[in-house]
Amino acid sequence: MTRPVSIDMVRTLDEQKIGTSIAYAAMHAGAVLVIDGAPFLSPDGRIDRELVHAHMRRCLERVPEWRLRLMDSPLGVTTPAWVPDERFEPRDHVAFDDDPVELTAETARRLTGAGGPGLPRDRPLWDLRIAVLDTGEVAVGARMHHVVGDGEWGFSVIRRLTSPQPEPVDVAVAGWTSDTRAPRTAMAIPPFALRDFLARQSSIRGGWHDYWRKPFVKRVKRVASRNAAPLREWWIARTGLRDRMLPPTHAAAFDVTASPAARRAARLRGTLNDLLVASALGAVDDDDRGLDMLVPVSRRRRGSGDGVRNHISMARVHVDPGTTLAERVAEVRGTVRNELRGESTDTPHGRMLGYATIMSLSDDPLWFGEAKVNRVIVFPVGDPRSELSAFGVVYDGMLSVTLVSRLELDVARMADSMRRDLEPAPVAETGRAPEQRDADPQEAA
């Protein structure tokens, strides 16, 4: 019996993440799971590779999207499409480091491919690098391209790669046979895109209006831009634009207990996410124009599940010079609330820093096979020219924050500043934290 063809069109907005070699390189997302080492280490302290491969075969049954590759549409008449990779072999996506290393922010970045070549575009856009740590733990560094999915979708992948209880690894698990296949040629993509568009319309009249809702000239420009890619890449190489757009960066990371940080955010009448963004805005030198930072806002509806790969918007927060932490929290809260309501506000623009956000992974421990996940580190993805980008992960009672900044800036000092904002202040002899002494009674309550 002939297997049906599977084609999943990339959205136009997602295509921007792979439109040029510069955008493609910048949009690599990385995360590291620090797990108990014993379940995956052999007696000599080296990684049991066959056990890892066996566990990944089971995990990939739960993440079918990781078996898809991109296929370009002929003459760029549509966006690229996701199709099954007929040659997919999980072993090609997993590498190992057996020499014990210390876990630092830069070690974690290396495990997620930072500073190395990008993901090959002719196969599924993810890979793992697994290393032994000098603590006896094992670090699982994962890299995925942002076009595959945004942060919400990426966290759904982590949850599918792990389980809420120990999961014995069955080394006898065989490979799988896909029940769908890629089209024989890319010529199948435009007809599929047309059929998919028509199937989503309630009527021919409605489809006609929906198609012409976007300017025809804009559609033509998109097609022309796709076909001009070789010329654009030649220009990038000729002018050295890649080096200017992708400057070297470095990272810092720290952990704080989540509950006290959340309580401090509540005292300031904000959420933990508001406090993180506000602390990032206060971690850099002030500016007489004020400071700006982007905050991702999810547009998913409840129950949308893992099928929605990318669906976020960016709220631009502006704070005036000399604002206090409480004032910055209030500004973040108001801006995010307006974005969720779809209310546009006319705010001044200051010096743009980057972006900051927090996401919650799990309140309880997760397990990678029979190994407990002890720590989760996620790196922010975005413009490498940014002054500061920060990503926080709430997992098992801890908040892990990772910062990325340009090489000439002091990212360690920024991390120290943010840690002071997120950690509870020391309790004085009176039993009250110093920041509460002059607080408004209602706010402190």
Overall fold of domain 249-364+381-444: Chloramphenicol Acetyltransferase (3.30.559)
* Predicted confidence (pLDDT) per residue in 321-376, tens digit: 999 999 999 999 999 988 888 777 778 899 999 999 999 999 999 999 999 999 99
* Domains of the chain, residue spans: 1-246, 249-364+381-444
Q: What percent of the chain has pLDDT over 90?
A: 73
**In the predicted model, what is the mean pLDDT of the chain?**
89
pLDDT for 264-315, tens place per residue?
999 999 999 999 999 999 999 999 999 999 999 876 555 444 555 666 788 9
Residue 274: in which H helix or E strand, if any? helix 272-281
What is the C-alpha separation between 382 and 433, in angstroms, rounded? 37
- Average the pLDDT over 251-262 and give the result: 96
Fold match between domain 1-246 and domain 249-364+381-444: yes
Cα 76 to Cα 215: distance, rounded to the nearest angstrom? 18
Nearest-angstrom CA–CA distance, 249 and 110 = 12
Q: Quick count: other Cβ atoms within 10 Å of Cβ 165?
A: 9
Beta strands 351-362; 371-379: pairing state: unpaired
Sort 240 into a burial class: Cβ within 10 Å, 0-12 / 13-18 / 19+.
exposed
Name 218's Cβ contacts closer than 8 Å, sequence gap at least 6: none
Q: Where are the beta strands (DSSP E) in 76-218?
A: 81-84, 94-101, 126-133, 138-145
Which of 53-57, 126-130, 254-258 has the weakest average pLDDT?
A: 53-57
CATH T-level topology, domain 1-246: Chloramphenicol Acetyltransferase (3.30.559)
The dihedral built from the CA positions of residue 153, 158, 163 and 164, taken in this order, carries a sign that is negative
Beta strands in 14-106 (DSSP E): 28-35, 68-71, 81-84, 94-101
Residue 251 has pLDDT above 70, yes or no: yes
Q: Which helix (H) or strand (E) holds 341?
A: helix 325-341
Alpha helices in 48-150 (DSSP H): 49-61, 105-111
- Residue (of 295, 342, 293) closest to 319 by Cα position: 293
pLDDT of residue 438: 36
φ, ψ (nearest 5 deg) of residue 148: -70, -40
What whole-number distance in Å separates Cα of residue 36 and Cα of residue 17?
Answer: 35
Residue 85: name the closest of 130, 148, 34, 143 by CA: 148
pLDDT in tens, 60-118: 889 999 999 999 999 999 999 999 998 999 999 999 998 999 999 999 999 999 988 99
Dihedral sign, CA of 364, 366, 370, 373?
A: negative
Q: What is the pTM of this model?
A: 0.88
**Three-point CA angle 298, 302, 307, nearest 5°:** 75
